[in-house]
Amino acid sequence: MADDPIALFDAWFAEAKAGEPNDPDAMALATATPDGLPSVRMVLLKGHGQDGFTFYTNADSRKGNELAASPRAALLFHWKSLRRQVRIEGPVEEVSAVEADVYFATRSRDSQLGAHASDQSQPLDTRNHFEQRYEEARRLFEGREVPRPARWTGFRVRPERMEFWTDRPHRLHERRLFVREGEGWTEGLLYP
Q: What are the residue numbers of the active site?
A: 171
Contact (Cβ atoms closer than 8 angstroms) between residue 154 and residue 48? no
DSSP string for 35-94: TS-EEEEEEE--EEETTEEEEEEETTSHHHHHHHHS-EEEEEEEEGGGTEEEEEEEEEEE
At a CB cut-off of 8 Å and minimum separation 6, what does 59 contact? 65, 68, 94, 151, 152, 153
Contact (Cβ atoms closer than 8 angstroms) between residue 112 and residue 104? yes
Q: Tell me how crowded residue 32 is: count the other CB atoms within 10 A of its CB.
A: 16
State how far the Cα of 97 lies from the Cα of 104, in Å rounded to an integer. Answer: 10
